[in-house]
Amino acid sequence: VAALMKNSGVLFANDVNPDRCQAVVGNFHRLGVVNVILLSKDGRKIPSMHLNLDRVLLDAPCSGTGVISNDQSVKQSRDIKDVLRTAHLQKELILAAIDSCRPGGTVVYSTCSLLVSENEDVVQYALNNRKVRLVSTGLDFGDSGFKKFKHYKFHPSMSLTRRYYPHVHNVDGFFVAKLEKI
């Protein structure tokens, strides 16, 4: 992100885990990144900082079902309670990301999960609870997100989201949505 910004403007990077924050500092130095402010806060508390951001990238904590082929422990270490707890946290985080944005700003929501409950359902929750709309991700490959899945029914614009499958796209499984704050 810093490279895309050409080291101009201000880039806020946040991870609730201080150890991961510390680990990334070396990368910033090695890559010559000078425009970053590193935070280690609960992302749900970021709106209280009144940052009025232009763009937010929320790489949300998730079940990791899209990376099972790389991490077999995901199969054994997750149960339905974990998924429900994570989906609840994701809903809180996406609302906080939107609340941290200025009107006209964008939020990109991504997970390495293939579960509808962590992807389309979270985005639908944001559409229902904040003044936002889905816009094109600008990604020209990947499958469209689901507009309907089992008992779920989503907004027609959910087709603007993108799903990536290991067996189809030769990448880890993940999901991407881009929301614009109205």
Answer for the pair 149, 121: CB distance below 8 angstroms, yes or no.
no
Which among 142, 139, 130, 68 is positioned nearest to 93, based on CA atoms?
130
Which among 34, 33, 53 is positioned nearest to 43, based on CA atoms?
53
pLDDT digits (tens, 9 = 90+) for 163-174: 999 999 999 999
Contacts of residue 4, Cβ cutoff 8 Å, sequence gap at least 6: none
Mean pLDDT of the chain: 95
The percent of residues above 70 in pLDDT, for the chain, comes to 97
Residue 15 in marked binding region: yes
Catalytic site residue 112? yes
Class of domain 52-181: alpha beta
Q: Is 90 left (phi over 0), alpha (psi -120 to 50) or beta?
A: alpha
pLDDT digits (tens, 9 = 90+) for 2-15: 999 999 999 999 99
pLDDT digits (tens, 9 = 90+) for 106-156: 999 999 999 999 999 999 999 999 999 999 999 999 999 999 999 999 999
What confidence score (pLDDT) does residue 154 get? 99
What confidence score (pLDDT) does residue 69 get? 73
What confidence score (pLDDT) does residue 129 get? 99
pLDDT band at 74 (very low <50, low <70, confident <90, very high): low
What confidence score (pLDDT) does residue 41 get? 96
Residue 75 reports pLDDT greater than 70: no
The percent of residues above 90 in pLDDT, for the chain, comes to 91
Residue 82 in marked binding region: no
Over residues 13-30, the mean pLDDT reads 94
Give the predicted TM-score (pTM) of the model.
0.94
What confidence score (pLDDT) does residue 78 get? 76
Tell me the CA end-to-end span of the chain in Å, nearest whole number. Answer: 24
Domain ranges of the chain: 1-40, 52-181
Contacts of residue 173, Cβ cutoff 8 Å, sequence gap at least 6: 65, 66, 67, 68, 112, 113, 114, 163, 164, 165, 166
Q: Which of 21, 62, 101, 112 is catalytic?
A: 112
